[in-house]
């Protein structure tokens, strides 16, 4: 990815952390080894992290910051206990609707959340430019899995269904269902007219309670989604060029996931 795009992404990540002031309780959903937890602590916040991978938490515990082994869909914290939440590229590996509802549940009224996700442009860019066939095929199955999930509410079986890409419209639907307000949207960069990284700032309104959401697509959205699938399908075929379909069957899952 061009260096200018990488610089812009780093700037946006820093802006996400600027939401949180000293003394605030901030949860990192999918904290990994704790890099963002450490940065939050340096800002004077009181961070806490969750991640389902015990090996990642072993490294995070070296920062002497509270962490819990848990999934985004079941955050082991009481309601309305956090002033802020960050969730950086974790939603692709979760049940998005449940994870967003859990973020809403633990946020205090008036609290803020900083969400970042991979859009379809991220996987299309890697399909075109990545030199590894395994990673390119991983991107292909992510695209296919997302189409199936959007249309049916079900993922592909096994490792085929471990990752989803996000879209601004789909995320906004989950936010509305959970009772969260989308305050700021930034996308950087774009590839083939598709978002690569999506950055959202959310707020929990003072008077809005939590809600449940369902990933099933309403009937009036099906035609729009089918048209999007056709357009992305054409882009994927163009990006793959002379890929051997037999390679797909030999693909092994070597990507890191944070699903339960």
Token pair of 106 as six digits: 């633990």
User: Of 43, 53, 56, 125, whose CA–CA distance to 84 is shortest?
Assistant: 43
Secondary structure tally for the chain: helices H, strands E:
9, 9
Q: What is the CA angle 187-258-153, rounded to 5?
A: 75
How far is residue 188's CA from residue 9's CA, in Å, rounded to a whole number? 6
> Phi/psi at 251 (nearest 5 deg)?
-65, 135
Neighbours of 173 (CB within 10 A): 20
> Phi/psi at 43 (nearest 5 deg)?
-85, 0
Which parts of the chain register pLDDT below 70? 1-15, 208-260
Burial of 123 (0-12, 13-18, 19+ CB in 10 A): buried
Q: What fold does the segment set 3-119+166-213 form as a domain? A: Rossmann fold (3.40.50)
How far is residue 130's CA from residue 126's CA, in Å, rounded to a whole number? 5
Phi-psi bin for 64: left (phi > 0), alpha (psi -120 to 50), beta? Answer: left
Q: List pLDDT tens digits, range 77-119.
A: 999 999 999 999 999 999 999 999 999 999 999 999 999 999 9
Token pair of 119 as six digits: 């859009």
Q: What is the pLDDT of residue 232?
A: 67
User: Domains of the chain: which residue ranges?
Assistant: 3-119+166-213, 132-159+218-252
Q: What is the pLDDT of residue 205?
A: 95
- DSSP string across 199-256: EEEEE--TT--------PPPHHHHHHHHHHHHHHHHHHHHHHTT--THHHHT----S-
Q: What is the pLDDT of residue 222?
A: 54
Task: Report cis status (omega within 30 of 0) of the bond before 189.
Answer: yes
């Amino acid at each position: 990815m061009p260096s200018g795009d990488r610089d812009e992404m780093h700037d946006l990540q820093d802006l996400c952390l600027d939401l949180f002031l000293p003394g605030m309780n901030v949860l990192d959903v999918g904290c990994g080894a704790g890099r963002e937890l450490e940065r939050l602590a340096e800002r004077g916040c009181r961070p806490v992290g969750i991640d389902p991978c015990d090996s990642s938490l072993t490294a995070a515990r070296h920062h002497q910051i509270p962490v819990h082994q848990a999934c985004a869909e079941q955050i082991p914290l009481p309601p309305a206990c956090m002033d802020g939440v960050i969730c950086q590229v974790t939603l692709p590996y979760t049940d998005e609707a449940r994870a967003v509802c859990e973020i809403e549940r633990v946020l205090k009224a008036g609290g803020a959340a900083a969400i970042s996700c991979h859009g379809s442009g991220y996987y299309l860019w890697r399909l075109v430019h990545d030199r590894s066939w395994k990673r390119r095929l991983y991107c292909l199955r992510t695209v296919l899995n997302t189409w199936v999930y959007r249309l049916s509410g079900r993922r592909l079986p096994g490792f085929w269904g471990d990752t989803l890409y996000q879209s601004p419209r789909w995320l906004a639907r989950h936010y509305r269902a959970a009772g969260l307000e989308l305050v700021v949207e930034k996308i950087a960069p774009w590839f083939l007219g598709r978002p690569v990284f999506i950055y959202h700032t959310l707020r929990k309104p003072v008077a809005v309670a939590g809600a449940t959401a369902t990933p099933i697509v309403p009937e009036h959205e099906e035609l729009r989604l089918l048209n999007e699938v056709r357009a992305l399908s054409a882009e994927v075929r163009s990006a793959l060029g002379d890929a051997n379909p037999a390679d797909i069957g030999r693909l092994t899952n070597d990507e890191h996931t944070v699903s339960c």
